[in-house]
Structure 1
Amino acid sequence: MTSTILSHPALSRTMQDGDMLQADEVVAMLRLHELGWGAKRLSKEFGCARNTVRRYLREGGVAPFKQPVRRTAFDGLDDWLRERFFRHDGNADVIRQELASEHGITIGLRSVELRVRQWRRELKAQKRATVRFETAPGHQMQIDFGDTKVWIGGERARVHLFVATLGYSRRMHARASLRERQADWFEGMEGAFLRFGGVPAEVLIDNAKALVEHHDAVTREVRFNARLHTFARYWGFTPRACAPYRARTKGKDERGVGYVKKNAIAGRRFESWAEFEAHLDRWTREVADQREHGTTGVKPAERFADEAKALRPLAGRAPFGQLRDLVRKVQADCAIDLDTNSYSVPWHLIGESVQVVVLAGRVIIRHAGQVIADHPQCRGRRQRIVDRAHFVGVTGFDGPVRKEAIEAAPAALLRPLAEYEAVVGGGW
């Protein structure tokens, strides 16, 4: 009987290596104990301590390890910790501060991080989870800005791209500008309305400071800029802000900005700003509107046929009329600087402060209540816009400088030299 049991491979392995007993070895130990083997003999046979044998015999088999329950400072606070973890977007340091202020528990940051670690994967999944939604024709337009570097006129310039995308048809409008001010947002939207031939019911915007003054991430309370409200009433749409730190809320337009960067601009060079704008317009018509959209499976231009009917007609409405009222000092080159460009001013105002009004594509310069210059607004960079009439009278402007001969009048009050000699007492 003994030789039969010892031939078991598990037993021989245990006796050779001295490892912890396996489940089948414990079963063999119990069978031998039933045959009369004592704890001392079993310990020698299986290569383990007598107390180990006695524990297996007492438990009647393999006993799972029982980890002792340790008390922690977080006991009874699991629900509170979970609620604060998601409220503060996983910020363990804020939770540590509130543990001290609300529960009087002073504890290290690492201990808090380890305690809330179990919920981090859930928080990450919650952030990434997205429910795709489709809007009815004419209901929504999404807008956004993105920036990139573009070669224009041999210079690598930073360009801001305004992209508007209709939610139903995915038809888009792209406009380039040198800045991302409120005026550029408004001009971009008006350009989109003009391209689409109508106005959607609502416009989904990013939380740009030029448009949104406050947006609470928890209560979702939004306070739009007063001028945006006026602009929206003028065109008849409802502004709506996407969730803070949740750009995918306007995913159609986020992908649209990337599409313009990678498809319309990447790897291309342009001789001038006008050529760049013409390229964007042509690319939008011939490429973006004619491609088969990856989500809808239909060309945006074809799908737009259904959406165009749902847009609110423009009815010949004039532009909103963006106005910029600035003060500039006339430089020594007889010009004022505006958005990296120079606009000429009558030369006699060098050093004076003048009022500069930018309105409807014109740059109007006033001094002492009078219009002293009126230029077309330049869309390029580092250009010089000159009105030659402003330099009339400036030396050298019309050609080389010529000096007229000056004839000296005869000296009528000069005295003879002999009189001076007499005064000093003789000749030299």
Structure 2
Amino acid sequence: MERAERGLVPLDQEVLVLEGEVVASIRALAARGVGSKRIAATLGVARNTVKRYLRTAVPAGVQVRPQARCLSEAARAEARRLYEGVAEGNAVVAHRLLAEQGVAVSVRTVERAVRDLRRARRVAEVATVRVETAPGEQLQVDFGQKRVEIAGTAVRLHLLVAVLSYSRRIFVKAFLHERQDEWREGLAAAFQHFGGVTRTVLGDNARALVSGRDVATSTVHFHPADLAFCRDWDVQPRACAPYRARTKGKTESGVKYVKRNALAGLTFASLETHLATWMALADQRIHGTTHEAPAVRFSRDEQPALRPLPLRALPRREQRVRRRVAADALVDIDTVRYSVPHPLVREHVEVAIGDDTVRIYHGGQLVATHRRSFGPHTCVIDPAHWAGLWRTTVSTRQEAVVAAPLASLGRSLQDYAVLIGGPA
């Protein structure tokens, strides 16, 4: 009665399986120290069967199964309700919630009870309804990672891929990281590349964009800095539903297309130059869905529908970080090392990173200004910062990428002068 109240129904408990001499052989071999795996192989029986006979005092010829269980109708209905509700399609969570109600069954039992619901969820996740947007309405954006060889060096890049949803024109920009700054810089570059601004931008749930989501109200909370950026550009941000990346299928396909078509198996002297050439070619290809070249659809329908770029330069939102000056009077920013006056060795400085410029402050005073470099593992040096350390004097101030040996890799820094953007 107690078992029925808890939603459990006992099934048959005994099944005749092994002859007495086999059971005796199992026990005899075990007594000689033979392991269960070896016994099972020797006697031609399942290893779990051997373990069960050794674990329990079972009479010869009878195997006692662990009591098989199934859910009563009431417990099954509760399992399905939990699975579709608070468990959010997770059978393990539904199993835990059932256990809290006193229903002690295995996870597998719960999985059987919700099997049809699981299948329906899988179908819903795969099935896609294609949604076409109006010209100038939406830009889909996503990041992908790819390890490529640039100037003889293997580099892992983060590729921002932006696709105009109507025309399918594509824009690609390479970064060393995937942070808020890279998202905003990439979006601004995409709008400038297309010569106009869409009404909405659709991204995923990347932590660099989304700070949280209210499931009950389907409300997405974006980071304040990202919202400020969107206000500057007068564009509405959107985020696809969690685990529904197919919502932005055009850019999902675009990321794969870039990785497989633009980069796979290729090496570059300058990735920036290569991507510019590749994007121009991609705009001329016949798209498999629209059966038109993206450039044709863009010039005919989408370009007139884009809103104009801002008439005046938008305020820059510089990134500021603190760094300690190394013994060689260099400060490391995103694998690029910038020089400061050598008396500041071991001092802490504040670095303001702009779109094109890196400014370094000490005690509130500007001590160094450099052009921003996007070549990984390079050094940007103002020779005047090392004045007094050299035997020869520096007559004129010039800023350059120094070609000193990189001891850890055994090659000159000139080899790394420009990996993404080409020669300086």
Relative to the length of structure 2, the TM-score reads 0.73
Residue 294 (structure 2) aligns with: 300
Residue 74 of structure 2 aligns to a residue whose secondary structure is coil
Between the aligned partners of 2:216 and 2:77, the Cα distance in structure 1 is 19
Does 2:87 correspond to 1:93? Answer: no
Residue 363 (structure 2) aligns with: 368
**Equivalent of residue 109 in structure 1, options 99, 107, 110:** 107
Matching residue's letter, 1:242: C
Between the aligned partners of 1:241 and 1:320, the Cα distance in structure 2 is 25
Residue 313 of structure 1 aligns to a residue whose secondary structure is coil
Between the aligned partners of 1:387 and 1:80, the Cα distance in structure 2 is 71
Between the aligned partners of 1:253 and 1:74, the Cα distance in structure 2 is 47
1:133-171 deviations in whole A, cap 9, x for unaligned? 100011111000000101012111100000111111111
**What is the identity percentage for the equivalent residue pairs of Structure 1 and Structure 2?**
46
Between the aligned partners of 1:79 and 1:132, the Cα distance in structure 2 is 35
Matching residue's letter, 1:148: K
Residue 207 of structure 2 aligns to a residue whose secondary structure is coil
Residue 325 (structure 2) aligns with: 330
CA offset at residue 337 of structure 1? 1.1
CA offset at residue 264 of structure 1? 0.8
Does 2:381 correspond to 1:383? Answer: no
Residue 317 of structure 1 aligns to a residue whose secondary structure is coil
Comparing 323-332 and 376-385, the one that deviates more: 323-332
Residue 180 of structure 1 aligns to a residue whose secondary structure is coil
Between the aligned partners of 1:72 and 1:185, the Cα distance in structure 2 is 51
RMSD of Structure 2 on Structure 1 (CA): 1.9
Residue 309 of structure 1 aligns to a residue whose secondary structure is helix
1:340-394 deviations in whole A, cap 9, x for unaligned? 1111111111111111111231110111222111000000111111111111111
Residue 199 of structure 1 aligns to a residue whose secondary structure is coil
Structure 1, unaligned stretches of length 5 or more?
Answer: 1-69, 400-428
Residue 284 (structure 2) aligns with: 290
Structure 2, unaligned stretches of length 5 or more?
Answer: 1-67, 395-424
CA offset at residue 126 of structure 1? 1.4
Retained in 2: the 8 A contact 1:340–1:381?
yes
Does 2:138 correspond to 1:140? Answer: yes
CA offset at residue 288 of structure 1? 1.1
Residue 185 (structure 1) aligns with: 183
Matching residue's letter, 1:289: D
Residue 198 of structure 1 aligns to a residue whose secondary structure is coil
Retained in 1: the 8 A contact 2:80–2:113?
no
Between the aligned partners of 1:123 and 1:135, the Cα distance in structure 2 is 26
Task: Please show how residues 197-216 of structure 1 align to structure 2 within 5 Å.
Answer: 197-216=195-214
Does 2:230 correspond to 1:232? Answer: yes
Q: Relative to structure 1, is the Cα distance of residues 255 and 96 closer, same or farther in structure 2, using a 3 angstrom cutoff?
A: same
Residue 12 (structure 1) aligns with: none
Residue 421 (structure 1) aligns with: none
Residue 385 of structure 1 aligns to a residue whose secondary structure is strand
Retained in 2: the 8 A contact 1:138–1:307?
yes
Q: Relative to structure 1, is the Cα distance of residues 216 and 397 closer, same or farther in structure 2, using a 3 angstrom cutoff?
A: farther
Residue 173 of structure 1 aligns to a residue whose secondary structure is strand
Between structure 1 and structure 2, the one with the greater Rg is 1
Q: Relative to structure 1, is the Cα distance of residues 256 and 267 closer, same or farther in structure 2, using a 3 angstrom cutoff?
A: same
Residue 248 (structure 1) aligns with: 246
Residue 338 (structure 2) aligns with: 343
Between the aligned partners of 1:363 and 1:282, the Cα distance in structure 2 is 29
1:170-220 deviations in whole A, cap 9, x for unaligned? 111100010001000001100111011111111001101011011245642
